[in-house]
A and B are shown apart, each in its own frame.
Chain A
Amino acid sequence: MRVIYTDNNATSKVAGEVIDEMMPYFGELYGNPSSMHTFGDEVGKKIKQARQRVADLINADPEEIVFTSCGTESDNAAINAAIKAFPQKKHLITSTVEHPAIKNLFSHLEKTQGYTVTFVPVDKKGRLNTDLLYESMSENTAIISLMWANNETGVIFPIEQVVQRANERGILFHTDAVQATGKIDIDVKKVGVDMLSFSGHKIHAPKGIGVLYVKKGFKFTPYLIGGHQEGGRRGGTENTAFIIGLGKACEIAKQNLGIMNTRVRELRDYLQSQLLEKIPSTSVNGVLDDRLPNTLSIGFDAVEGESILLLLDRDGICASSGSACTSGSLDPSHVLMAMEVPFKSAHGTIRFSLSHYNTKDEMDLIVKNMVPTIEKLRAMSPFWKDGKVV
Chain B
Amino acid sequence: MWDYTDKVKDHFLHPRNVGELEGANAIGETGSLNCGDALKLYLRVNKNERIVDATFMTFGCASAVASSSALTEIIKGMTLDDAAKLTNDDISDYLGGLPKAKMHCSVMGQSALKKAIANFRGVQILAKPGQIVCECFDVTDLEIIDAVKANGLETTDDVTDYLKAGGGCGQCLERIEEVIASAKAKG
Residue A306, interface by CB 8 Å: yes
Q: How many residues of B contact A (CB 8 A)?
A: 33
Residue A379, interface by CB 8 Å: yes
Residue B58, interface by CB 8 Å: yes
Across the interface, A331 reaches (CB within 8 A) one of B13, B58, B101, B168, namely B168
A324 pairs with B36, CB closer than 8 A: yes
Q: How many residues of A contact B (CB 8 A)?
A: 26
**Secondary structure type dominating chain B contacts:** mixed
Bound complex: CA of A380 vs CA of B65, how far in Å?
9
Question: Which listed segment binds A: B37-45, B46-54, B84-92, B179-187?
Answer: B37-45
**Secondary structure type dominating chain A contacts:** loop
B36 pairs with A332, CB closer than 8 A: yes
Q: Tell which of A344, A380, A383 has the most Cβ of chain B within 10 Å.
A: A380
Bound complex: CA of A332 vs CA of B33, how far in Å?
11
Residue B115, interface by CB 8 Å: no
Q: How far in angstroms is the closest Cβ of chain B from A176?
A: 24
Residue A217, interface by CB 8 Å: no
Across the interface, B36 reaches (CB within 8 A) one of A304, A310, A382, namely A304
Residue A329, interface by CB 8 Å: yes
With A380-B19, A380-B58, A382-B59 as given contacts, are A307 and B12 in contact (CB-CB < 8 Å)?
yes
Residue B147, interface by CB 8 Å: no
Residue A323, interface by CB 8 Å: yes
A residues 257-315 in Cβ contact with B at 8 Å? 302-307, 310-311, 314
B64 pairs with A331, CB closer than 8 A: no
Bound complex: CA of A383 vs CA of B61, how far in Å?
14
Q: How far in angstroms is the closest Cβ of chain B from A131?
A: 26
B residues 5-38 in Cβ contact with A at 8 Å? 12-13, 15, 18-19, 29, 33-38
Residue A347, interface by CB 8 Å: yes
Bound complex: CA of A343 vs CA of B13, how far in Å?
24
B57 pairs with A382, CB closer than 8 A: yes
A382 pairs with B38, CB closer than 8 A: yes
Bound complex: CA of A305 vs CA of B137, how far in Å?
19
A343 pairs with B33, CB closer than 8 A: yes
A307 pairs with B60, CB closer than 8 A: yes
Interface string of A368-383 (1 = CB under 8 A from B): 0000000000011111
Bound complex: CA of A310 vs CA of B60, how far in Å?
12
B167 pairs with A344, CB closer than 8 A: no
With A330-B160, A330-B168 as given contacts, are A381 and B58 in contact (CB-CB < 8 Å)?
yes
A306 pairs with B62, CB closer than 8 A: yes
B137 pairs with A330, CB closer than 8 A: yes
Interface string of A352-390 (1 = CB under 8 A from B): 000000000000000000000000000111110000000
Residue B150, interface by CB 8 Å: no
Residue B114, interface by CB 8 Å: no
Q: Which residues of A contact B (CB under 8 A)?
A: 302-307, 310-311, 314, 323-326, 328-332, 343-344, 347, 379-383
Give 15 new A-B contacts, CB below 8 A, not counting A307-B61, A381-B58: A304-B36, A304-B37, A310-B12, A311-B13, A323-B36, A324-B36, A324-B167, A325-B60, A330-B160, A331-B36, A331-B136, A347-B59, A379-B18, A379-B19, A380-B56
Closest CB pairs A-B (n = 10) = A330-B167, A325-B61, A306-B61, A382-B57, A382-B40, A381-B59, A343-B34, A380-B18, A331-B168, A324-B36
